[in-house]
Chain A
Amino acid sequence: MARKPPTRRQVMAVGAAGGALLAAGALTLERAPDVVPGRILGADAAHGHRLRGGGFPPVTAERTTGVAIIGGGIAGLAAARHLTQRGFTDFTLFELESEAGGNAVSGRNDVSAYPWGAHYVPLATEESTEVRRLFEELGIITGYDAAGLPIYDEFMISAAPQERLFLHGRWQDGLVPLLGGSGAERAEFARFHERMEDFGARRGADGRRAFAIPVDASSADAHFRALDRETMKDWMNREGFTADRLHRHVDYCCRDDYGTSHEATSAWAGIHYFAARSGRAANAGPDAVVTWPEGNGWLVQRLARDCETRIETGMLAFRIEEGPRGVAIDILDTIKGTSFRVRARAAVLAVPRFIASRLLPRLDADGFTYAPWAVANITLGRVPEGRGQALAWDNVVFGSRLLGYVVATHQDLRMIAGRTVLTYYWPLSHLPPAEARQEALSRDIAGWQAIFLEELLRIHPELEGTVERVDVRVFGHAMIRPVPGFIWGEARRRALLSRPPVFAAHSDLGGMSIFEEAYVSGLGAARKALDYLAGMREG
């Protein structure tokens, strides 16, 4: 071949130039990305971290109350509600944040109410008698059918379609990755779910379920509890579950419920995710959950309803001293910047264990580790679409480190919701918790927005230009991590033993960060406190 004719490279170059021209043409269609408004909200890290360093202003005033409740998450609110219902109104709840709610806190804008954290509760299990009673009182359960199955308020049951998964550029129904999977993979998924169903049906020699909600209603049989000594990943591999897709799916589930990857989660906890939701409804499928636009913020408002006047916010308890006649609690009023002392006959310590141990040195938090989370609420000018399955309540991207988004307007009965709010979740499990927290605290709002929007706009190019606002909330210690040995280990067992006049209450005492654990724990602490006070009066 002569030298003169154009070489292949030249031809390609012309083609590339044409392609580049086209690309340039396509680029002119997109406007430069605007700066999206938004800010970082979040657990009051600056104040919280003062607990480590100390140096609080001197106590200048003193107050008294019958029972002091420290912490206004679900556990603290459950305790406050119980005291109120029992006619005991001489109590005060002190909350550090500007509003009560803890992980179930929610927000609201002109489009919708939306969750900042916990956003649903599964159907109440047989063992969840307290939660079931609460559901009845709040009208979530409206009655029972002839077979004794609870009838739920149909507008609170998560509306169809519940879940979809983004895989191979398409949305599929449900979260189990099936699209494009091999026959062997499907068979392994089937075998896995069979095992989980089997675990769900198993009961121990003590007649209790192998895996129950609340956790402490589970069977004490050693062969079940032995599962708590290895990681979910190891258990899967040992049982011959090796398909990559299955591992990714289970890892997603562990990060979803525990903020912890499946290689760090105990197998007992990992299996619990699949096997413990035994609640049933007369008018919904077994996988149904109850939810509201604002997520569990709906429950927060109802728990707080009759005791709102006794909730004080912006209050950081920093020291507790126990005495023969009760407790003295030193509290920083973060708004005024002054400290005061509260004398109470008893205290409900409804804070995570690592905080409790700082307030009351006789308590230790060894073995209690917490997963940090970041949550973004994204206000959009239009609802997301996508090929395949229609927009669901929970929308997950397969293989992503983010957990996907929940649509706040999904329960809306209206035909068309023009604008909407998406709540995007990200458990920061890619690093050890302490490092992840450090990384999270150093990231600015633009950095967070870039992370969430990169994924959102990649899977939803149609949303380009419709993002109105992205706020982010960082929960430095969002969830107790059920690492191997924690749930059935010594540390948790010791922590469950309360000694008057201080009664601990928190979901971390149950070993997992779920509504039921927090609620039952708060209720239990309030009961013990009342019993103790009654005993004091008699004595």
Chain B
Amino acid sequence: MAPLLLASVFVIATCGLVYELIAGTLASYLLGDSVTQFSTIIGCYLFAMGVGSWASRYVTRNLIAFFVRVEILVGLVGGASAAVLFLMFEHVGSFRVLLYAVVGLVGMLVGVEIPILLRILKDELEFKDLVSRVFTFDYIGALFASILFPLVLVPYLGLVRSSFLFGTLNVLVAGWVLIMVRRHVPALRLHMGAVLASLALLIGGFIGAERITALAETSSYAGTVIFAESSPYQRIVLTRRNEDLRLHLNGNLQFSSLDEYRYHEALVHPLLASLAAPRRVLVIGGGDGLAIREILKYPAVESITLVDLDPAMTRLFSTNPMLVSLNGGAFASPRVTVVNADAFLWLRDRTERQAPRFDAIVIDLPDPSNFSIGKLYSLSFYRLLDSILAEGGGFVVQSTSPLVARKSFWCVNNTIGAAGFVTSPYHAYVPSFGDWGYVLATRGSYRPPVEYPEGLRFLTIAGTAEMFRFPPDMARVETGIQRLDDQVLIHYFDDEWSSYLVY
């Protein structure tokens, strides 16, 4: 029996450390600050093991059966720990209480195991051999786990699956021991039944792990996830913390409800208010309807066409009450037409059909972070815009941060210039984004507005002039031109944002 139990020491040690690592990693994922999380988790876990070891003295009868029961429990609790923590994250008041309770429970159970095992084996081996071998296996198991965890488990299985897998191993050890020592165990059938039921649960969890992780959207969001949906085009996640409602697309922040008015006022009004009477307006991107909310402040505007790729976005922002109140029910306006289409193809098609032109075009697309979106910042794209822009009209492009991504910003500006437009770049401070840039394009020279519509919270005529001035650290630089066959902007953007730790 001794070799069997020693082998089980190895498995137990591996499982025990894996649970600890899973809890630490999960806490870092969910709560951030990995140093604190790992320190407190390890501390709590080791302390709980101590409690378990101490408590083991109160176990006096039928050690083997007790050991089997503890094994089953460790397997169940430890195995399900990652899934439980993931799933409960959004639903419990204080996540830390749950976290440390789970860690404490697993720690105690693991802490009971080794003393009990020592006692089972004490008659079979000499004391010096006993401790030497048990601890040798214990530490080898720990090493095995610590290497396995970062290299195999996290990258290939993920936390939830790893946790179920090791829970299964724990229960298998219980079953194995049970079979080997069946003569010494009372109520063998009950124990065997418990083993099988636990195995079924854990294996079921292992198979369904993907769904569990999908249910529990957590990762890197600073706030509670209140809505998550994967459209064919992107992952849409809404988070909330107190009054701060935030939209993330593929993990990138799109707006914070606390300061989005700054961004959208600055995006829309310097162009719209500068035009005599803009009647037909086109919005490219902007599926949140927030730019439309601003455009609707102009009574002269007769029609707004919004072209956004993703129907899931426009649907969400025209139905969800919280979001509808944020965009002022923009999509319900009879002046608004939504077209869910790919902007480039729509534009090409439109140029060929020679449909009526637009007086103003507002381009509110995600930042140029990949080659797909980069096409919508290209020379070819801006040239197509020229063919749908009415006489005397203009367009404006959100153009990332001229402070963080100075070359990127000026690359957008220079590309629009190369397409034959007069550019008027400007910037505004949006706390959740930073100092943010826009490029306004016209065919003739741009004349800033003399009057804004009522009810703006951020823009003033006096403040507008300031927005068009760039301090030396954001001043214009020479750049390449973003072309379909040579997307320099993507390289600039990548370099600049990756070197900025603050954002």
CA of A391 to CA of B7, assembled, Å: 47
Q: Which residue of A lies closest to B481 (CB)?
A: A283
Instruction: Please give, as numbers and ranges, the residues of chain A lying within 8 Å of B129 by CB-CB distance.
Output: 2, 4-5
Say whether, besides A283-B483, A418-B232, A18 and B165 are in contact (CB < 8 Å). no
Are B371 and A390 closer than 8 Å at their CB atoms? Answer: yes
Instruction: Please give, as numbers and ranges, the residues of chain A lying within 8 Å of B447 by CB-CB distance.
Output: none
CA of A160 to CA of B484, assembled, Å: 6
CA of A494 to CA of B14, assembled, Å: 77
Tell me how far the C-beta of B342 lies from the nearest C-beta in chain A, rounded to whole angstroms: 4
CA of A6 to CA of B371, assembled, Å: 58
Say whether, besides A25-B165, A390-B371, A6 and B133 are in contact (CB < 8 Å). yes
Are B342 and A415 closer than 8 Å at their CB atoms? Answer: yes
Q: Which residue of B lies closest to A414 (CB)?
A: B342
B101 CB–A CB distance under 8 Å: no
Q: Which residues 352-384 of B have a CB within 8 angstroms of A?
A: 370-376, 379-380
A22 CB–B CB distance under 8 Å: yes
A59 CB–B CB distance under 8 Å: no
Q: Which residues 366-412 of B have a CB within 8 angstroms of A?
A: 370-376, 379-380
Contact of A413 among B137, B148, B168, B345 (CB under 8 A): B345
CA of A154 to CA of B483, assembled, Å: 8
Contact of B233 among A2, A413, A415 (CB under 8 A): A415
A489 CB–B CB distance under 8 Å: no
Residue from the set B10, B129, B233 with the largest chain A CB neighbour count within 10 Å: B10
CA of A413 to CA of B343, assembled, Å: 9
Residue from the set B152, B232, B376, B380 with the largest chain A CB neighbour count within 10 Å: B380
Contact of A415 among B140, B165, B373, B487 (CB under 8 A): B373
Contact of A285 among B6, B165, B376, B486 (CB under 8 A): B486
Say whether, besides A25-B165, A154-B484, A160-B487, A416 and B233 are in contact (CB < 8 Å). yes
Contact of A155 among B3, B156, B380 (CB under 8 A): B380
Are B371 and A414 closer than 8 Å at their CB atoms? Answer: no
B201 CB–A CB distance under 8 Å: no
Say whether, besides A159-B484, A160-B371, A18 and B344 are in contact (CB < 8 Å). no
Instruction: Please give, as numbers and ranges, the residues of chain A lying within 8 Å of B342 by CB-CB distance.
Output: 413-415
CA of A14 to CA of B7, assembled, Å: 7
Instruction: Please give, as numbers and ranges, the residues of chain A lying within 8 Å of B348 by CB-CB distance.
Output: 413
Chain A facing B: main interface SS: loop
Instruction: Please give, as numbers and ranges, the residues of chain B lying within 8 Å of A11 by CB-CB distance.
Output: 10, 137, 140
A231 CB–B CB distance under 8 Å: no
Are A25 and B206 closer than 8 Å at their CB atoms? Answer: yes
Are B156 and A416 closer than 8 Å at their CB atoms? Answer: no
Are B156 and A26 closer than 8 Å at their CB atoms? Answer: yes
8 smallest beta-carbon distances between A and B, as pairs: A413-B344, A160-B487, A157-B485, A414-B342, A415-B372, A154-B380, A159-B484, A25-B165
B247 CB–A CB distance under 8 Å: no
Residue from the set B148, B165, B168, B485 with the largest chain A CB neighbour count within 10 Å: B485
Instruction: Please give, as numbers and ranges, the residues of chain A lying within 8 Å of B233 by CB-CB distance.
Output: 415-416
Q: Which residues 138-155 of B have a CB within 8 angstroms of A?
A: 140, 144, 148, 152
B-contact 0/1 string along A374-391, CB 8 Å cutoff = 000000000000000011
Q: Which residue of B lies closest to A154 (CB)?
A: B380
Instruction: Please give, as numbers and ranges, the residues of chain A lying within 8 Å of B309 by CB-CB distance.
Output: 415-416
6 more contacts with CB within 8 A, not counting A15-B144, A25-B157, are: A6-B3, A22-B165, A159-B371, A162-B485, A284-B485, A414-B342
B-contact 0/1 string along A405-423, CB 8 Å cutoff = 0000000011110100000
Say whether, besides A14-B7, A390-B370, A415-B372, A154 and B485 are in contact (CB < 8 Å). yes
Q: How many residues of B contact A (CB 8 A)?
A: 44
Q: Which residue of B lies closest to A4 (CB)?
A: B129
A215 CB–B CB distance under 8 Å: no
Instruction: Please give, as numbers and ranges, the residues of chain B lying within 8 Å of A15 by CB-CB distance.
Output: 10, 140, 144
B82 CB–A CB distance under 8 Å: no
Say whether, besides A14-B10, A21-B169, A414 and B487 are in contact (CB < 8 Å). no
CA of A25 to CA of B160, assembled, Å: 13
Are B345 and A414 closer than 8 Å at their CB atoms? Answer: yes
Q: Which residue of B lies closest to A160 (CB)?
A: B487
B-contact 0/1 string along A4-32, CB 8 Å cutoff = 11100011001100100110011010000
A-B contact pairs, 26 of them (CB 8 A): A5-B132, A5-B133, A6-B6, A11-B137, A11-B140, A14-B7, A14-B10, A15-B140, A18-B10, A25-B206, A26-B156, A26-B157, A159-B484, A283-B483, A284-B486, A390-B371, A413-B344, A413-B345, A414-B344, A415-B309, A415-B342, A415-B343, A415-B372, A415-B375, A416-B372, A418-B232
Q: Which residue of A lies closest to B343 (CB)?
A: A415
A158 CB–B CB distance under 8 Å: yes
B11 CB–A CB distance under 8 Å: yes
Contact of A18 among B11, B132, B375, B490 (CB under 8 A): B11
CA of A25 to CA of B157, assembled, Å: 9
Q: Which residue of A lies closest to B210 (CB)?
A: A29
Instruction: Please give, as numbers and ranges, the residues of chain A lying within 8 Å of B345 by CB-CB distance.
Output: 413-414
Tell me how far the C-beta of A426 lies from the nearest C-beta in chain B, rounded to whole angstroms: 27
Are B486 and A160 closer than 8 Å at their CB atoms? Answer: yes
Instruction: Please give, as numbers and ranges, the residues of chain A lying within 8 Å of B7 by CB-CB distance.
Output: 14
Are A413 and B485 closer than 8 Å at their CB atoms? Answer: no
Residues in A lying within 8 Å of B, measured CB to CB:
2, 4-6, 10-11, 14-15, 18, 21-22, 25-26, 28, 154-155, 157-162, 283-285, 288, 390-391, 413-416, 418
CA of A220 to CA of B484, assembled, Å: 39
Instruction: Please give, as numbers and ranges, the residues of chain B lying within 8 Å of A18 by CB-CB distance.
Output: 10-11, 14, 144, 169
Are A413 and B375 closer than 8 Å at their CB atoms? Answer: yes
Q: Which residue of B lies closest to A288 (CB)?
A: B485
Tell me how far the C-beta of A457 lies from the nearest C-beta in chain B, rounded to whole angstroms: 16
Residue from the set B129, B372, B374, B375 with the largest chain A CB neighbour count within 10 Å: B372
Instruction: Please give, as numbers and ranges, the residues of chain A lying within 8 Å of B376 by CB-CB distance.
Output: 415
CA of A226 to CA of B137, assembled, Å: 72
CA of A14 to CA of B5, assembled, Å: 12
CA of A4 to CA of B3, assembled, Å: 10
Tell me how far the C-beta of A248 lies from the nearest C-beta in chain B, rounded to whole angstroms: 27
Instruction: Please give, as numbers and ranges, the residues of chain A lying within 8 Å of B10 by CB-CB distance.
Output: 11, 14-15, 18
Instruction: Please give, as numbers and ranges, the residues of chain B lying within 8 Å of A416 by CB-CB distance.
Output: 232-233, 309, 372
Tell me how far the C-beta of B279 lies from the nearest C-beta in chain A, rounded to whole angstroms: 29
Tell me how far the C-beta of B65 lies from the nearest C-beta in chain A, rounded to whole angstroms: 24
Contact of A22 among B6, B148, B375 (CB under 8 A): B148
Instruction: Please give, as numbers and ranges, the residues of chain B lying within 8 Å of A154 by CB-CB distance.
Output: 379-380, 483-485
Are A161 and B487 closer than 8 Å at their CB atoms? Answer: yes
CA of A268 to CA of B490, assembled, Å: 38
Residue from the set B132, B484, B490 with the largest chain A CB neighbour count within 10 Å: B484
Q: Which residue of A lies closest to B8 (CB)?
A: A14
Instruction: Please give, as numbers and ranges, the residues of chain A lying within 8 Å of B371 by CB-CB distance.
Output: 159-161, 390-391
CA of A390 to CA of B368, assembled, Å: 14
Instruction: Please give, as numbers and ranges, the residues of chain A lying within 8 Å of B232 by CB-CB distance.
Output: 416, 418
Are B373 and A158 closer than 8 Å at their CB atoms? Answer: no
Instruction: Please give, as numbers and ranges, the residues of chain A lying within 8 Å of B379 by CB-CB distance.
Output: 154
Q: Which residues 223-251 of B have a CB within 8 angstroms of A?
A: 232-233
CA of A391 to CA of B372, assembled, Å: 10
Tell me how far the C-beta of A527 lies from the nearest C-beta in chain B, rounded to whole angstroms: 34
CA of A93 to CA of B265, assembled, Å: 66
Q: Which residue of A lies closest to B487 (CB)?
A: A160
Q: Which residues 314-373 of B have a CB within 8 angstroms of A?
A: 342-345, 348, 370-373
Are A284 and B169 closer than 8 Å at their CB atoms? Answer: no
Tell me how far the C-beta of B152 lies from the nearest C-beta in chain A, rounded to whole angstroms: 7
Instruction: Please give, as numbers and ranges, the residues of chain A lying within 8 Å of B144 by CB-CB distance.
Output: 15, 18
Tell me how far the C-beta of A10 lies from the nearest C-beta in chain B, rounded to whole angstroms: 8
Instruction: Please give, as numbers and ranges, the residues of chain B lying within 8 Å of A4 by CB-CB distance.
Output: 129
Q: Which residue of A lies closest to B143 (CB)?
A: A15
Are B485 and A159 closer than 8 Å at their CB atoms? Answer: yes
Instruction: Please give, as numbers and ranges, the residues of chain B lying within 8 Å of A22 by CB-CB distance.
Output: 148, 152, 165
Q: Which residue of A lies closest to B14 (CB)?
A: A18
Tell me how far the C-beta of B327 lies from the nearest C-beta in chain A, rounded to whole angstroms: 23
Q: Which residue of B lies closest to A284 (CB)?
A: B485
Are A284 and B483 closer than 8 Å at their CB atoms? Answer: yes
